[in-house]
């Protein structure tokens, strides 16, 4: 009791107390999806590429002959902001799934909207329909659009905002797209898991790696 009373007196007198209290409550709604040490809270779907934790990051490594593989969050999210850093080898296509699901029948295909990840020049940040038979959901790739927002052989900051039927993406502070999902997609997939993709590769190529770190989410 004496220790608690002393701490309360200190906090009431200390000019930094309000900011200390704010920090202790999860940085205004942001929370980590990855603890930097283990893959607790995640599971592998569809393929058999390999996932490890190395130097505080999730490392995904291709496995020749494997289809696309996804490390998926057990927790589901609807409206949210997602931030992370990613570093991808040249020659590897990757992505981050949002509001996605795993079919429990047939091929057990993992499916849903995917935010593209690849090196520059490329189409990172645009939205693809993984397993949805739509191809690109964003119109820009269909028009041949590409950009150089990704820093090759370096870490890149992604920021994804999913609010209702609208998906907005940023790479290194630059807006890439603001997409209104087709009604049929939003109606079917208003929420789901987050998935970190290691793409399948051609025979005789690779291995390739992709790394994610500082994965943070804020529900809206």
* Integer Cα distance of 193 and 161 in angstroms: 15
What was the pLDDT predicted at 22? 36
Question: What per-residue confidence (pLDDT) applies to 189?
Answer: 86
**Model's pTM, two decimal places?**
0.85
Q: Give the pLDDT score at 192.
A: 96
Please give the domain boundaries of the chain with CATH numbers for all domains: 1-30 (no CATH), 33-219 (2.60.120.560)
CB atoms within 10 A of CB 18: 10
Residue 72 pairs in a beta bridge with 43, 195
Taking the chain (220 residues) in consecutive chunks of 10 residues, what is each chunk's mean pLDDT?
Answer: 38 36 57 96 93 97 94 97 97 95 72 96 96 93 94 97 98 97 91 96 90 98
Give the distance, in angstroms, between the CA of residue 51 and the centroid of all CA atoms in the same chain. Answer: 15
Q: What is the 3-state secondary structure (H, E, C) of 103-158?
A: CCCCCCCEEEEEEEECCCCECCCCEEEECCCCEECCCCHHHCCCECCCCCCCCEEE
pLDDT in tens, 15-71: 333 333 333 344 689 999 999 999 999 999 999 999 999 999 999 999 999 999 999
Amino acid 107: pLDDT: 54
């Amino acid at each position: 009791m004496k220790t608690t009373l002393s701490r309360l007196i200190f906090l009431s007198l200390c000019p930094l107390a309000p900011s200390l209290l704010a920090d202790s409550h999860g940085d205004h709604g942001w929370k980590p999806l990855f603890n930097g040490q283990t893959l607790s809270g995640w599971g592998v779907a569809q393929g058999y590429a390999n996932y490890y934790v190395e130097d505080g990051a999730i490392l995904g490594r291709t496995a020749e002959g494997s289809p696309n593989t996804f490390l998926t969050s057990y927790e589901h999210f609807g409206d949210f902001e997602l931030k992370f850093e990613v570093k991808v080898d040249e020659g590897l296509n990757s992505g981050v799934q949002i509001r996605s699901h795993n079919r429990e029948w047939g091929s057990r295909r993992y499916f849903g909207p995917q935010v593209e990840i690849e090196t520059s020049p490329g189409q990172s940040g645009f939205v693809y329909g993984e397993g949805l038979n739509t191809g690109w959901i964003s119109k820009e790739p269909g028009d041949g659009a590409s950009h150089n927002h990704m820093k090759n052989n370096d870490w890149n900051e992604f920021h994804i905002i999913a609010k209702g039927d609208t998906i907005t993406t940023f790479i290194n502070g630059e807006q890439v797209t603001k997409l209104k999902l087709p009604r049929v997609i939003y109606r079917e997939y208003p929420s789901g898991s987050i998935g970190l993709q290691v793409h399948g590769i051609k025979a005789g190529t690779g291995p390739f790696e992709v790394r994610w770190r500082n994965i943070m989410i804020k529900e809206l």
